[in-house]
Amino acid sequence: MTLYLIGIGLSTEKDITVKGLEIVKKCDKVYLESYTSLLQCSVSDLETFYDKEIVIANREITEQGDEKIIAEAQEKDIAFLIIGDVFSATTHVQLFKLAKEKNVSVKVINNASVLTAVGVTGLELYKFGKVTSIPFIEDHPNLETPYNVLKDNGDLHTLFLLDLKPAEDKFMTVNVALEILGKIESKKKEGLINDDLLVVGCARLGCDNFIVKAGKLSEIRAFDFGGPLHCLIIPGKMHFVEEEMMELWSD
Ligand SMILES: C[S@@+](CC[C@H](N)C(=O)[O-])C[C@H]1O[C@@H](n2cnc3c(N)ncnc32)[C@H](O)[C@@H]1O
């Protein structure tokens, strides 16, 4: 019996790989982790496409109930679906590790992730520095980390993943992310964030209606990126091809 950790991609029910779909169809129980990301389709769209009932794994089930899932995988084939790719939110490493420690067979089926989908911007993936996230400021009023990461990344590009609370239908926009960085700048006054800074806002990467918009912070601040999910990039030093891509996305 096996625990399958399956990435289901970024867009709709059809983004699962053929291999992933074949495994889901033969599994005895299917969990969906839905608190670290969001698809552009509903859970019932997934259930219809897979022809399987889905159990929603909320933060409590996965972070405290890992043991339960592992115990189930000793008896049955269990699929654990992750939006995007499997290990691009660290939470799931615990599940994998626990399975290994308990000698439970565990297999990983990879898929696309926001971490690679940002390649469409034209910014070279191997020139990104540390990825950081921007939490809702009301939860972290003394927030400085994303600002410090931007500073430490120096000439490298910085990807900011934005906070989300799917259970409350709350998703941070690029606009709010820029506002939060501006608030940190006004406290730290190190001159990293200013109206002329080149920033790249991305929405719904990997989906048919994705948006990439590059421009000065003063322009992007008011740009409407539409529905979730959004992320933000602040480019570092660019090659001329990267600069040309920025021009392409600034129209
Ligand atoms: C914790 S990450 C989840 C990563 C996911 N497991 C993956 O592999 O893509 C969630 C954050 O990444 C960003 N994100 C995820 N998917 C995105 C997409 N398709 N377009 C833009 N941003 C996205 C958003 O900022 C979102 O709040």
Residue among 247, 220, 251 nearest 233 (CA)? 220
Looking at residue 61, its pLDDT comes to 64
Q: What is the mean pLDDT of residues 47-74?
A: 86
117-152 pLDDT, tens digit each:
999 999 999 999 999 999 999 999 999 999 999 999
Confidence category of residue 63, pLDDT binned at 50, 70, 90: low
Looking at residue 245, its pLDDT comes to 98
Looking at residue 194, its pLDDT comes to 97
* CA dihedral of 87, 90, 92, 97, whole degrees rounded to 10: 100
**Relative to the CA of 83, which ligand 1 atom is closest?**
6
Diameter of the chain measured on Cα atoms = 58
Ligand 1 centroid to residue 2 C-alpha, Å: 27
pLDDT for 92 beyond 90: no
**Superfamily holding 115-248:** Tetrapyrrole methylase, C-terminal domain (3.30.950.10)
**Relative to the CA of 133, which ligand 1 atom is closest?**
25
174-192 pLDDT, tens digit each:
999 999 999 999 999 999 9
**Relative to the CA of 232, which ligand 1 atom is closest?**
25
CATH numeric code, 2-112: 3.40.1010.10
pLDDT for 244 beyond 80: yes
Ligand 1 centroid to residue 205 C-alpha, Å: 8
Q: What is the mean pLDDT of residues 79-102?
A: 92
Crossing angle for the helix pair 91-101 and 66-75, nearest 10 degrees? 50
Domain boundaries, the chain: 2-112, 115-248
Contact 156, 190 (CB under 8 A): no
The whole-chain average pLDDT of the chain stands at 95
The whole-model pTM stands at 0.96
CA-proximal residue: ligand 1, atom 10 (nearest): 37
* CA dihedral of 116, 120, 125, 129, whole degrees rounded to 10: -90
